[in-house]
Structure 1
Amino acid sequence: MNRSQGNGNNLPIRVLVVDDHAVIRQGLRMLLESRPEIEVIGDCENGREALLMVERNKPDVVLMDVVMPGLNGIEATRQIRKASPATRVVILSGFVDEDQITGSIRAGASGYLVKNSDVTELVLAIQTVNRGNQYYSAALSDGFDIAELQLQARRPEQKTGVDTLTPREREVLQLIAEGHTNQQIADELVVSVKTVEAHKAHIMDKLKAKSRTDLIRYALRRGIVKLESVDEAERSLANLAGGSEE
């Protein structure tokens, strides 16, 4: 049980804010710090930093962006829930689709908010999940049947695509898609280049990919990584297609 849970407990809810945009992090901090029932214990810019902060500080609730460099919010949520089961995660995303919602549920998130939610809904979501319940933004009800998506996410099914990858393979896939070389990935994950190459081979086999370019296209389609414009995406794909690390 979280330290702020329970009847008669007036301790503030300890919240960690995770988003790769500094302006959004600062804005969320400002909004939440104006509320006496919330204590913002920190903020960070990617999933890997979030995991380290959760292991160290054990926040009650994490507000988690989805598409971030290094380790995305869905995979970070999965790892956080294993490392600190009492910590609840609320996904806070500007991009919403069915795969993202079901992915967050499978990863163990307790709630899902769109980024244009006001501070009242933000605090309500934090309080709701901190009590052990779930919260989904009212804005989602216009386009999604949340109850059906919850059933779908929990229904046993044949794993395909990214769902067949191990947690480490998902990390490697994201880093490849972000344009990192094998050596850079090895340095980031503190493993050998041979280990990275082995992970890449397994990923390509599972996803039926023939090149790094195929992996980038797959990651873009699944929302694992984001590029600021179509032109930038095309330039990155073209550069890698002409590179040596196929």
Structure 2
Amino acid sequence: MSSTMAWARSQQEDGVNPTSIVLVNAHALFREGLRHHLTETGEFHVIGEAGNGQQAIQVVDLLDPDMVVMEVDLPGVNGLEVARAIKRAHPHIRIVLLSSTMDGQEVVKAIRAGIAAYVPRNIAPEKLLQTLHQVRRGHYPINDLVLSSPDVAAQVLNAFRQMAVDEETQNVYSPLSPRELQVLELVAAGHTNKAIAQSLDISNQTVKNHISSILRKLAVNDRTQAVVYAMRRGWIKVPLPDDTAT
């Protein structure tokens, strides 16, 4: 409780508005408990709820929240399918999925769908709040899950390796946007976030957001790995020092 209240105080002192959330779970009692826990922090404001996938899509379309916290096992449409539909219509919305199982194939699908976090359904309240805090700041703690679970990590890496060597899949699947490729090329050239922001005439925070998105899409841990991954596949080209020599 003390850490939760400390978070709330720090956010209020910084003048940060509460993050709007839509809760999606088949059980009203679960939603009520989670809503109470989130609301009392002062950081989050639950603006809507849904008990199934179709209703979730309608509520999100209507309310356009900052974040959706959703159960994977929903009546009717699976939560992952709902998440895909939401991300297609509202790319800016950050989605946290609660699952009864930590299945590597599901995590792969979640990463490719742009899910920010994929956590156990029985996660401790304090841990969930920490995860939501990370998501709120534009991070993708789904990568932490990959790193912390060897079995999940193996399945995720195998899936992405297969995707890399499968030419047909690679031609269809373009993981990085043109702007993200621009950012990554500048990273590869050794530019700082500040220099990248100046070069592309965007804010430093936007650069950070692009880099977080790149790491999440490529399922890598840092900027160097992202550069190597992209260069090996021919997505970016960085001239060697000799190339520019006269």
TM-score (normalizing by structure 2): 0.55
Q: Deviations over 1:177-214 (max 9, x none)?
A: xxxxxxxxxxxxxxxxxxxxxxxxxxxxxxxxxxxxxx
- 2:135 corresponding residue in structure 1: 129
Deviations 1:10-66 (A, max 9, x none): 100111111112222222112212211111112111121111111111111111111
CA shift, 1:106, in A, is 1.8
RMSD between aligned alpha carbons? 2.9
Q: How many residues align?
A: 154
Query: Is the partner of 2:151 in helix, strand or coil?
Result: coil
2:86 equivalent to 1:97: no
User: Aligned pair in 2 of structure 1 residues 148, 142: CA closer, same or farther (>3 Å)?
Assistant: closer
Q: Which secondary structure state, in structure 2, belongs to the residue aligned with residue 95 of structure 1?
A: coil
1:150 to 1:73, Cα distance in 2 relative to 1, 3 A? farther
Q: CA deviation at 1:136?
A: 3.5
1:22-171 equivalences under 5 Å are: 22-136=28-142, 141-146=148-153, 149=156, 152=159, 155=163, 157=166
**8 Å CA contact retained: 2:118, 2:145:** no
Overall identity of the aligned pairs, in %:
32
For the structure 1 residues 116 and 132, does the alpha-carbon distance in structure 2 shift closer, same or farther, using more than 3 Å as the test? same
Greater relative contact order: 1 or 2 (C-alpha under 8 angstroms, separation 6 or more)?
A: 1
Q: What's the TM-score, normalizing by structure 1? A: 0.55
Measure, in 1, the Cα distance between the counterparts of 2:66 and 2:157.
23
Q: Using a 3 Å threshold, how does the CA distance of structure 1 residues 151 and 39 change in structure 2: closer, same or farther?
A: farther
- Rate the CA distance shift 1:109–1:138 in 2: closer, same or farther, 3 A: closer
Unaligned runs of at least 5 residues, structure 1: 1-7, 160-246
Runs of 4+ in structure 1 displaced over 6 angstroms?
137-140
If each structure's helix is expressed as a fraction of its own residues, which one has the higher value?
Answer: 2
Q: Which runs of 5+ in 2 are unaligned?
A: 1-13, 170-246
Task: Decide whether the 8 Å contact of 1:113 with 1:137 is kept in 2.
Answer: no
